[in-house]
Structure 1
Amino acid sequence: MKEIMAVIRMNMVNQTKKALSDNGVDAFFAREATGRGKGLVSRDILEGAEKGHEEAVALLGDKGRLYPKRVLTVVVPDEQVDTVVKTIMKVNITGKPGDGKIFVMPVLDSVRVRTGESGDASIA
């Protein structure tokens, strides 16, 4: 069992949700988030801006801004991981910075509270 966490653009949520559903994945979580990639921003400039140095803030401009994102979390059996990752990528890839990030992490177990089922049965 794996947890797939995808950070995507806000405007791509509906298309991603539909694509996942079309591929048999209807259960997932979505959270609002803000963030940014590492881009081309110098750590020294970021630290200076955080300390309030006007020169650093001016150099930083819009690059230090946090952008609204969505974090989708899906837990699937191991055999579905490739399908889910490829589906998310297919919908969200534009080739431009900010397309997002996908993380795949192991899940040791899960339990359906209502029935007590565990493992893959709890997410089926």
Structure 2
Amino acid sequence: MKEVIAVVRINMMNQTKKALSDAGIAAFFAHECQGRGKGFINPKILEGVDKGYEEAASVLGEKGKLYPKRMVTAVVEDSQVDDVVQAIIAVNKTGKPGDGKIFVLPVADAIRVRTGEKGEIAIG
């Protein structure tokens, strides 16, 4: 089993939900979150901001801003990972910064609370 975590633009959430459903993934979570990519920010400026230098913060300007995003999480069978990743990419890729990120992590186990079922049966 794998956990697929995708951070996407808010305005792409409906398309992402539909793409996951079309890929056969009915169960997933969506969370509000904020973040930003690394962009073209000089690390020295970030150090200055961390130390509290107002000049560094003013130079950083909007590039230091955290942007509202959505984080979508789905635990799927190993055989479904590529389909899920491709479905998310297909609807979120614009070719511009901010399209999002996808992370794939191993899942040791899953337990359905209602029945006590374990493993892939619990996520099916």
Indicate the TM-score class for this superposition, using the shorter chain for normalisation.
over 0.9
Give a deviation string over 1:47-90, Cα, whole Å, max 9, x none. 21233323212211111100001110000000000000000000
The residue matched to 1:31 in structure 2 has which SS?
strand
Instruction: Say which SS state the counterpart of residue 60 (structure 1) adopts.
Output: helix
Aligned residue in 2 for 1:114: 114
- Give the Cα–Cα distance (whole angstroms) in 1 for the partners of residues 87 and 34 of structure 2: 23
Matched to 1:72, the amino acid is: V
Match of 2:55 in 1: 55
Instruction: State the alpha-carbon separation in 2 of the partners of residues 58 and 112 from structure 1.
Output: 50
Which whole-Å deviations, capped at 9, do the CAs of 1:68-113 have from their partners, x for residues lacking one? Answer: 0111000000000000000000010000111000000000110101
Q: Distance in 2 between matches of 1:62 and 1:118?
A: 46
Instruction: State the alpha-carbon separation in 2 of the partners of residues 75 and 104 from structure 1.
Output: 10
CA distance in 2, matches of 1:25, 1:40: 35
Structure 1: gaps spanning 5 or more residues:
none
5+ residue gaps, structure 2: none
Aligned to 2:43: 43
Normalised by the length of structure 1, the TM-score is 0.96
State the aligned residue count. 124
The alignment's TM-score, normalised by the length of structure 2, stands at 0.96
Do residues 87 (structure 1) and 87 (structure 2) align? yes
Give runs of aligned pairs for residues 8-87 of structure 1, distance below 5 A: 8-87=8-87
Q: CA RMSD in A?
A: 0.9
CA distance in 2 between counterparts of 1:110 and 1:57 reads 44
Shift of 1:26: 1.0
Amino acid at match of 1:13: M
* Matched residue, 1:6: 6
